[in-house]
A and B are shown apart, each in its own frame.
Chain A
Amino acid sequence: MRIERPLGRAENMFIVRGVNIFPQQIESVLMGIKGVAQNYQILLEGYDEMTIKVEIDRDFFDGRIERLLKLKDDITEKIKQAIQVRPKVELVESGTLPISEGKAKRVIDKRIL
């Protein structure tokens, strides 16, 4: 049996479709992708739907939509690999999400469970 490193504080953990998820898992995936800016937000809605809003880096944008679509697919795939749940990814403008400093509310849970 493999002993994994702690993924994050237990109090931050949330469960989607039966899977335990730590925001830190998502964060570390996002930080490793070029084109992603600092902030993100996890929205849990409806019957266990997970949407991740990701700010895009202003300098990454070259005017072509193809590049953004590829970035969106990349993010979706890499997060799916990391947490076993496929999120819906939404790209948003840089500076539109709450800043990551301190205890920014990363996870917003509006599920009707």
Chain B
Amino acid sequence: MYYVDIISIFAENKPGKLEKITEVLAKENINILGFSIISAKDFGVIKFLVDMPERAYKKFKEKGFTVAKIPAIGIELEDRPGGLYEILKLISTKNINVENALVYVAETRKKAYFVFEVEDLEKTWEKLKDEKIKFLKLSDFIKNEF
């Protein structure tokens, strides 16, 4: 199964919070490949796809952040009108519900991935694995972590 880990951080909605979170990544020389922010008034969840997920997770833990790793599936998007639509159409015909998503632009105007979380990763994988789509692999972006 091909999947990637999304680093997910709980954050209170107050000034400077995002700065502190991204500072951890900057200091560790961890590159952000994609991110998303979900806000629910007084708090939110910030999600990152990074090139050193294990290291990022460990550092956030060490520094006392409320952090979790969530496995997600990444599918390559074609850079043309309807590219995202076609992937989403495929996902919905398989009755897969996207819980959260972010986009990873691997090469500007060339290659991008739709990276999404689902409730049941294995079931989703079974439904998609034989489709003619390219999956994002850890080895596509990961850096030597330690």
Contact = CB atoms under 8 A, between A and B. Distances in A.
A91 B47 CA distance: 18
Contacts of B64: 93-95
Interface stretch (A2-10, A24-32, A57-65): A57-65
Interface in A43-97: 56, 58, 61-66, 68-69, 90-96
B43 A68 contact: yes
Contact of B70 (A58, A64, A92, A93): A64
A78 B97 CA distance: 31
Contacts of A93: 10-12, 64-66
B43 A91 contact: yes
Q: Contact size class for B?
A: 20 to 34
Contact of A61 (B10, B12, B117): B10
A62 B117 CA distance: 12
Interface in A93-111: 93-96
By secondary structure, the B interface counts as strand
A45 to B, nearest CB: 14
B40 A94 contact: no
Q: Contact size class for A?
A: 10 to 19
Contacts of B6: 63
Contacts of A96: 12
Q: Which of B44, B66, B67 has the most chain A CB within a 10 Å cutoff?
A: B66
B98 to A, nearest CB: 13
Contact of A62 (B38, B40, B65, B70): B70
Given A63-B6, A94-B66, A69 B12 contact: no
B44 A61 contact: no
Contacts of B70: 62-64
B10 A56 contact: yes
Interface of B: 6, 8, 10-12, 38, 40, 42-45, 47, 64-70, 99-100, 117
Interface of A: 56, 58, 61-66, 68-69, 90-96
Given A64-B70, A93-B12, 10 more contacts: A63-B6, A63-B45, A63-B68, A64-B117, A65-B44, A65-B100, A69-B40, A91-B10, A94-B66, A96-B12
